Structure 1
């Protein structure tokens, strides 16, 4: 009678050996330790060279979690490889080099964040494949903005693929936050927001996706981040936005027309919702007040912090109203679109023209003959025409 083939793992991690379960020998961390969120996935037995070569090949296959660099006890590192079929002209090392030398700058809101985005977050990405895919997506899209066709198209396609595969693990992660992954989740939220703002401009004419649709996806993701910040505040080590002027007490003044427009928006909320829906009235009032605060912060600190902070702060009820295309909620979003227009420029390349396109789409949906809306709509039109005629800097 033939002997049964050997099925046990001879070079499994110490955790699996203690638990007497089969290890896939693909770590650290191995799949078992990832799925059970076990720390200290170490290998006391040295993996032979022929199995190290095999691990390199197998590690390119999809796994049901986010693998990091495989560091074996003999000091050999096995990098996590993407399962995507990229064009031969695009290499992950090129994309990582792009992120760590150029792209990271477009996410910094102060000099104090340079080390965070250039060093700490790429290091987090080595342990969290979803974050790696996300920053490679942003880097690929960034290269596309400075390349000519057809090279640019190849980088856009790569960016789309990386972005697509990063989303589902991120959504799963939001419901399973731990001290080990909360920093990666926050970094992922910022990078994903930048990607969602950049994509419609880069894929114009290729994909029939509106800027409003993309913003709704951002809202959904950032609602999960609010939960992260609430549940894991003591665990967070990254200091994103925290060193900039946005979180200090200073507030800039508003231009007279902007101040008047926000007052009109508040009055319109009083006139249209206070007697019909008290919940919507309260939610809208809070959202408008925070929008005013962000406009004032932006006037003294013109960077992404106050722009993105408003997206992350709005209530779920407001996001639900946007999904239902509730007109007054869309009108508030259009006012934020004017704030987004303030990021136009080379430094924030991922926001280039995003505000302009978003407001234009919203204005198409907000055509109204109601005289109560006239003042708010006129301000939007004036801001669009005034900034469109200004020379670019």
Structure 2
């Protein structure tokens, strides 16, 4: 019998009816990972494995390819309970889903797990790869990282994709003030989906995903600043409750504490700069003045009747700030883009001990005075489009939170902004 006439046997494989409800509805293979299957993680939807009482997510409605239409809902200033940290000493896996004044739970989003891409989204994607990426790096050697590598990651990691689109929308809004409202709405939509997506992935944080989750956190940071200062929120403290920024910092600390070596490897491995930096003569007198002002805060610490622990915490923060001052003025002397200062300035906040951040939230006067002398440095980033106004916002927030007897201690920061 000729080979081509042999009957073909049907390949058999083991079928399973134990997949999650969403995968069954979409008729795709489920890997049955619990508590959240990989497909639900990728599409940032609630998996029926994690909550057996829910039904499969409703199918997405098919929409035609059309220009962006602004969402009907305006920006909501509402804190989502889904992402609150119940215990300040405990870092939740939801910490990266920072409140950030974006309502990401109750607000319907125009973006679904099966939405066709919109023309406006293509515009945002193009703008990021053509322009925005240059504004978040101070060294041309890092351009490829953001323009090529991170964009490549976004093709398989939805949170990165939506967060770069959100940042691009805010950048376009900055460049086109007459259309800012429309672009902000687009940014809100993409930020909503981006945070929801990365929060789902956090539940399964591992060596494979840690770098992408970290980049998502960095992008959330950029979007937070680009959205602009908000009344009552002053980065490290707020008028009410836990500051949004601390929630974000807790999420970053969780990632780096668990996977520091893995995060800063490969394309994210820090590049050693062989160039020795020094403070230029033009900036030396300015640096000396700032150093004297910070050292004067130590006199306030010495005058207060503090516990040994508080004295140590404040003195350590002041010494850290003095070191940051020198690094900031060295970078300023290099005449590179001031966006490079962000890593140095946010690094000081990141390293603050929990005891000091708690005192800032309680508006302890000495802690606030120290913060005001740090916030002055933000004015050197005013040439960066997403940092405008933050220096004055934080320093004035400190002034309003201090009793009058402590105002003389921050007169100099107030004069600088």
* TM-score normalised by L of structure 1: 0.69
Of 154, 158, 166 in structure 2, the residue corresponding to residue 125 of structure 1 is 154
Q: CA deviation at 1:279?
A: 3.1
Corresponding residue for residue 193 of structure 1: 221
Point out where structure 2 has 5 or more consecutive residues left out of the alignment: 1-12, 42-58, 64-109, 333-339
Report the CA distance shift for 1:200/1:333 in structure 2 as closer, same or farther (over 3 A): same
User: 1:116–1:238: 8 Å Cα contact kept in structure 2?
Assistant: no
Q: 2:317 aligns with which of 267, 287, 303?
A: 287
Query: Which of 220, 223, 244 is the matching residue for 2:247?
Result: 220
C-alpha distance in 1, partners of 2:202/2:300? 36
2:195 equivalent in structure 1: 167
* Maintained 8 Å contact 1:216/1:323: yes
Deviation, structure 1 residue 377: 1.4
**Structure 1 residues 30 and 269: CA distance shift in structure 2, 3 A:** farther
**Mean Cα deviation higher: 112-121 or 165-174:** 165-174
- Does the CA contact (< 8 Å) of 1:174 and 1:225 recur in 2? no
For residue 355 of structure 2, what is the aligned residue in structure 1?
317
Structure 1 position 137, deviation (Å): 1.2
Q: Is the alpha carbon distance of 1:270 and 1:163 closer, same or farther for their aligned partners in structure 2, counting shifts above 3 Å?
A: farther
Equivalent residue, structure 1, for 2:375: 337
Aligned match of 2:327? 297
What's the CA shift for 1:283?
2.6
Give the structure, 1 or 2, with the largest relative contact order (CA under 8 Å, sep 6 or more): 2
Once the two structures are superposed, residues 91-120 of structure 1 have per-residue CA deviations (whole angstroms, 9 ceiling, x without a partner) of 221111111111111211322211111111
Note the residue ranges of structure 1 that are not aligned, 5 or more in a row: 1-13, 42-56, 62-80, 202-206, 385-393
Residues in 2 aligned to 1:89 and 1:138: alpha-carbon distance in whole angstroms: 17
Q: Helix, strand or coil: the match of 2:227?
A: helix
Partner deviation per Cα, 1:147-167 (whole Å, 9 max, x = no partner): 143x21011122123223433
Deviation at 1:342, TM superposition (A): 0.6
C-alpha contact 2:210 2:262 (8 A) present in aligned 1: yes
Structure 2 counterpart of 1:326: 364
Residue of structure 1 in register with 2:295 after alignment: 263
Give the distance between the partners of 1:306 and 1:223, measured in 2 at CA.
Answer: 18
Secondary structure, in 3 states, of the residue corresponding to 1:325? Answer: coil
Distance in 2, Cα, partners of 1:29 & 1:280: 57
Q: SS state of the match for residue 301, structure 1?
A: helix
Q: How does 1:128-143 map to 2 (within 5 A)?
A: 128-143=157-172
Aligned to 1:75: none
Shift in alpha-carbon separation, 1:119–1:113, aligned structure 2, 3 A: same
Gap change, CA 1:184 and 1:277, over 3 Å in 2: farther
State the alpha-carbon separation in 2 of the partners of residues 244 and 337 from structure 1. 28
Could you say if the C-alpha distance between residues 176 and 329 of structure 1 is closer, same or farther in structure 2, counting changes exceeding 3 Å? farther
Match of 2:412 among 379, 385, 390: 379
Q: 1:102 to 1:258 in 2, by over 3 A?
A: same
Q: How does 1:202-217 map to 2 (within 5 A)?
A: 208=231, 210-212=233-235, 216-217=243-244
Q: Which residue of 2 aligns with 1:22?
A: 19
Aligned equivalents of 2:197, 2:329: Cα separation in 1: 37
Alpha carbons of structure 1 residues 329 and 165: separation in structure 2 relative to 1, 3 Å: farther
Q: Distance in 2 between matches of 1:21 and 1:112?
A: 49
Shift in CA distance, 33/175, structure 1 to aligned 2, threshold 3 Å: closer
Q: 1:153 to 1:223 in 2, by over 3 A?
A: same
1:357 correspondence with 2:393: yes
TM-score where L is the length of structure 2: 0.65
Could you tell me which residue of structure 2 aligns to residue 111 of structure 1?
140
> 1:2-17 alignment to 2 at 5 Å?
none
Query: How far apart are the structure 2 equivalents of 1:195 and 1:329?
Result: 27
User: Do residues 101 (structure 1) and 130 (structure 2) align?
Assistant: yes
Q: Deviations over 1:334-353 (max 9, x none)?
A: 222111111111xx210122
| RMSD between aligned residues | 3.7
